[in-house]
């Protein structure tokens, strides 16, 4: 279903030409023959149509109206929410009480955040359509029955599209699992169903007693997709990594398998350039309820510099970073640094640095200079990276992020003063 929709969009241009061409080229002869037959049987007179059809066709075909290229809002931001179970008396932090879930959904509306479908998100990333400046995608992982009988009615009520990431070993197995029939019902109602592997195992390591990691991984990535596609007659385009963990081998195989989007769990407000093989999600966690607050906070400068993000009510202060924001560096092992002096009293134990593709890294915070640094220990492959730095300062959680690109063709880094100026746009 999704395939045909996607290819339809891709082929829109050619289809449009066909629509224009076919009726004009063939309608003439088709109509005239059928009408001729009709005329013999019943003595009606659709003569006018029959006689006007043939001649003007080629001219019209030669100059079809070009499909206008849609204006894409590249400054829009998307955040992805992740839920698992919906229970009144949660037994663990992954379950959200239904009333709170409803509040979350209400809050999206109140904050002017548009819930968009996976399909719209992908179309935006392909440059095919725009999305609202503050957009959200709702995802529900694993395939628990409460997604079907608790969350779905609420989502229906709000008219929100959403995506279910299913792991195939957890379908039709009783307990809290869903049946294939229920998934079919959701599919028929327009719920997007995507893949969450076969066994829900960390994809970076084979389980015990598995001697062929690659064959096992192949089944987790290809096998699950095939099962879902065959059981439900759908086209799978997205993969959610179990526990959000992945590595280059995993991402490459998933890409080869045809997944257009891959999702992790580390939430971020994603711009047009967010890497499609590691899209972050804000996962509900009862121990960290501020995660939802962070998710709905698109920042004061939402429409401004795409790299700056305000995590909570913090005064905007400049943070000097290295590499500088948007810098291209030829060095595959850069030292990544930020001076946090402008933040005041940073709790040294709260400082966390994350790098896209690497995750949480053991960065060192130096209380004397109030700077945090991390030396990359393995060569980074040439591409764009996002650094996310978070800490507690004066009891508040602050977060900043910036981008740099490892680019072998870039000239060696210019002196720092210029870089500092660039980086001053980064806010905490």
Of 142 and 399, nearer to Zn ion (C-beta) is 142
User: What residues have CB less than 8 Å from 258, skipping those under 6 apart?
Assistant: 225, 236, 237
Least distance between Zn ion and beta carbon 242 (Å): 5
Of 263 and 374, nearer to Zn ion (C-beta) is 263
CA separation, residue 352 to residues 8, 367, 389, 397, 401 (Å): 44, 14, 6, 11, 12
Specify whether the CB–CB gap between 139 and 147 falls below 8 A. no
Specify whether the CB–CB gap between 261 and 122 falls below 8 A. yes
Which of 396, 354, 400, 395 minimizes the C-alpha distance to 374? 354
Q: What part of residues 136-155 is at the interface with Zn ion (CB under 5 A)?
A: 141-142
Q: Is 273 exposed, middle or buried (0-12, 13-18, 19+ CB in 10 A)?
A: middle
What are residue 194's DSSP bridge partners?
Answer: 165
Of 183 and 389, nearer to Zn ion (C-beta) is 183
Using CB under 5 A, count the residues that bind Zn ion.
2
Give the x/- contact pattern for Zn ion in 297-326, rule: CB under 5 A. ------------------------------
Of 169 and 317, nearer to Zn ion (C-beta) is 169
Token pair of 360 as six digits:
């949480």
User: Would you list the DSSP string of 388-408?
Assistant: EEEEEETTEEEEEEEEEEE-T
Identify the sign of the CA torsion 33, 34, 35, 37. Answer: positive
Least distance between Zn ion and beta carbon 240 (Å): 7
Identify the sign of the CA torsion 38, 41, 45, 51. Answer: positive
Q: Which stretch binds Zn ion (CB under 5 A): 55-63, 134-142, 176-184, 381-389?
A: 134-142
- Other Cβ atoms within 10 Å of 80 Cβ, number: 27
Of 141 and 327, nearer to Zn ion (C-beta) is 141
Least distance between Zn ion and beta carbon 399 (Å): 25
| Closest chain position to Zn ion (CB) | 141
Give the position of tokens 């096992």.
Answer: 216
Q: Is 260 in the site for Zn ion (CB under 5 A)?
A: no
Least distance between Zn ion and beta carbon 327 (Å): 36
In whole angstroms, give the CA distance from residue 315 to residue 317: 6
Provide the 8-state DSSP code for 324: P
Of 128 and 285, nearer to Zn ion (C-beta) is 285
Of 141 and 192, nearer to Zn ion (C-beta) is 141
Of 141 and 297, nearer to Zn ion (C-beta) is 141
Which of 93, 84, 27, 17 minimizes the C-alpha distance to 55? 27
Q: Which stretch binds Zn ion (CB under 5 A): 53-61, 97-105, 135-143, 311-319?
A: 135-143
Helix axes 2-10 and 12-41, enclosed angle (nearest 10):
100
Q: Which stretch binds Zn ion (CB under 5 A): 133-141, 342-350, 359-367, 404-412?
A: 133-141
Least distance between Zn ion and beta carbon 281 (Å): 11
In whole angstroms, give the CA distance from residue 259 to residue 251: 9
Phi-psi region of 420 (alpha: psi -120 to 50; beta: other; left: phi over 0): alpha
Provide the 8-state DSSP code for 237: -
Least distance between Zn ion and beta carbon 247 (Å): 18
Least distance between Zn ion and beta carbon 116 (Å): 22
Of 264 and 386, nearer to Zn ion (C-beta) is 264
Least distance between Zn ion and beta carbon 170 (Å): 9
Least distance between Zn ion and beta carbon 188 (Å): 24
Of 141 and 260, nearer to Zn ion (C-beta) is 141
Least distance between Zn ion and beta carbon 142 (Å): 4
| Site residues (vs Zn ion, CB under 5 A) | 141-142
């Amino acid at each position: 279903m999704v395939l045909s929709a996607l290819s339809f969009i891709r082929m829109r241009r050619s289809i449009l030409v066909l629509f224009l061409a076919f009726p004009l080229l063939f309608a003439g002869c088709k109509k005239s023959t059928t009408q001729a037959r009709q005329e013999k049987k019943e003595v009606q007179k659709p003569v006018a149509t029959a006689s006007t059809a043939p001649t003007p066709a080629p001219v019209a075909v030669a100059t079809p109206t070009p499909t206008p290229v849609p204006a894409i809002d590249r400054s829009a931001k998307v955040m992805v929410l992740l839920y698992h179970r919906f229970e009144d008396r949660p037994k663990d932090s992954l379950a959200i009480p239904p009333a709170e879930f409803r509040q979350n959904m209400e809050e999206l509306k109140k904050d002017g955040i548009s819930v968009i479908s996976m399909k719209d998100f992908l179309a935006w990333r392909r440059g095919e359509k725009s999305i609202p400046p503050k957009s959200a995608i709702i995802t529900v992982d694993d395939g628990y029955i409460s997604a079907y009988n608790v969350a779905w009615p609420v989502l229906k009520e709000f008219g929100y599209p959403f995506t279910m990431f299913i792991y195939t070993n957890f379908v039709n197995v009783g307990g809290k699992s869903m049946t294939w029939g229920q998934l079919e019902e959701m599919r028929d109602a327009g719920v997007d169903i995507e893949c969450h592997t076969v066994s829900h195992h960390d994809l970076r390591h084979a389980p015990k007693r598995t001697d062929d990691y690659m064959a096992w991984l192949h089944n987790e990535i290809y096998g699950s997709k095939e099962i879902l596609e065959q059981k439900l007659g759908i086209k799978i385009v997205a993969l959610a990594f179990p526990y959000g963990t992945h590595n280059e081998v995993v991402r490459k195989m998933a890409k080869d398998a045809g997944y257009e989007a891959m999702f992790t769990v580390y939430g971020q407000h994603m711009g047009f350039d967010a890497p499609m093989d590691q899209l972050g999600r804000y996962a509900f966690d009862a121990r960290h309820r501020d995660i939802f607050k962070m998710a709905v906070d698109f920042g004061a400068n939402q429409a401004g510099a795409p790299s700056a993000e305000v995590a909570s009510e913090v005064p905007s202060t400049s943070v000097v970073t290295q590499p500088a924001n948007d810098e291209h560096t030829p060095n595959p092992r850069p030292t990544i640094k930020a001076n946090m002096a402008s933040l005041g009293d940073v709790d040294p134990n709260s400082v966390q640095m994350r790098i896209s593709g690497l995750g949480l890294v053991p960065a060192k915070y130096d209380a004397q200079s109030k700077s945090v640094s991390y030396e990359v220990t393995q060569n980074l492959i040439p591409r764009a990276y996002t650094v996310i730095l978070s800490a507690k300062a004066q009891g508040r959680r602050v977060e900043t992020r910036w981008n740099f690109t490892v680019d072998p063709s870039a000239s060696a880094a210019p002196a720092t003063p210029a870089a500092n100026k660039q980086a001053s746009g980064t806010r905490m």
